[in-house]
Chains A and B, each alone.
Chain A
């Protein structure tokens, strides 16, 4: 296991380096600069290039960037939040996305899991149809439509929750975005759990256990749900990255100053350091979660050997 993890970390470091290098080159090759504006004179732009060290050769700029990066300095923002360190910006905005993303993950996965179990156990009944209907809606309706529906009902009609994110009420104003964001997760998990449980309940080992007279509750809890967790984790991991990274659509719909909003603003503004910093952060997040998921596979199902039995 240790060898496997070390190997994965090494691959991750190489991946991160390549991502940074490719993005750095792409940013420089892109038309425009952070300082392109109708009203900026050539002298102003040149002065800003010099101030931020963007007037040297690109390899030297990359070397300097890497050197600073290794000491935790990802540079400052040029335009979006002028002169603010990128690390400060990422943390400041990520905290908000993280809170809403975690809430949506928990809400979506718990509801989806329970709905999936109910649909599988009550297979073929009205409950199964109801759960299926809800999950079809959850998958079919884009989350901005859900955002609009919950906004109109709870913010505009009933006025119980704010329609936009308020820093003074971080939890209350995160409820509607959480609901909008969790519907797809909930629906996806419900489908996977239901289908997986039905497959397991049709398997030979389940029938054998059932014929032994093991109590239904114990049977479901011990033999079915545990095995279903594998597929839940497989689905949940990439969904979770999306949720934690900040859904750009939902953040725009609820005016949430999260990481997704910042990323879009930075890309539109050619704010090189911010784009690089967030991409690097996303890459680290993605690689870490995937590694944790692989390790979890082994813990949940001992049949999966990460280091191929060595």
Chain B
């Protein structure tokens, strides 16, 4: 169940039971969440989960079919231009064409948004390594994205709504972007960003909402995701049958994806562990281990597990489609 929206006065964005239908197809099935002022909130989910739809609703580009939303204390449907001047928006698919330089285009957007401090555009462009005097249609995808970011940040809006902000950016610029997000937060600005990759969001966000098929699977802090994250465990043991080893491990709370293969006179076993380590160790202590690898938790995978929770009927069945990811990183853990 999604958490009920909290105290709206302290929230930059409050969404309650928002649904959106395109024709007969409902793409948002009553989602609710709140974003505290001054926080960085990430929404992740696979393509088509509804991330862009939510963001467009908050900017009144499209209108929700039902539900409520409050942005910076106002109803986006009714508030009009004055509210949108307080928001910086980066669309998920950015199209900038036309026979116009980046500088002129930004000057146009400055005319229709909040006031831009003198020198602000140049300093942002310099940070991101963007040449403002080139024609926009000749810019590469990454450079267009930089222009889009400058456009969103330049008037120091109270709220930044950034749809897939790091798409097309090289890793160095991504780091610069993260620094800009942290500065915005230090500045008291609220940031709402989306991604289909958790690793992009986890570095920047305090809280993450996971959206799948138009529903919020969970809203969690990055820390709690980390705690609930899944580890991979692998070992070989001698002097035990596959059936016995399987039965033994299956009793450990949080074990999933159990695979047991015969190896010599013993077994080779791999599994995931979603719970505490101690119960596993107690079981392992009774075995003749010849090798043991217990990996660091993989946040990405724990999120995929959550996607799977909706699709299947529990963590253990998350891999019903057979697309389970087994990333084996040697040299980690013990």
A pairs with B? no
Q: Which residues of B contact A (CB under 8 A)?
A: none
| Residues in chain A within 8 A of chain B (CB atoms) | none
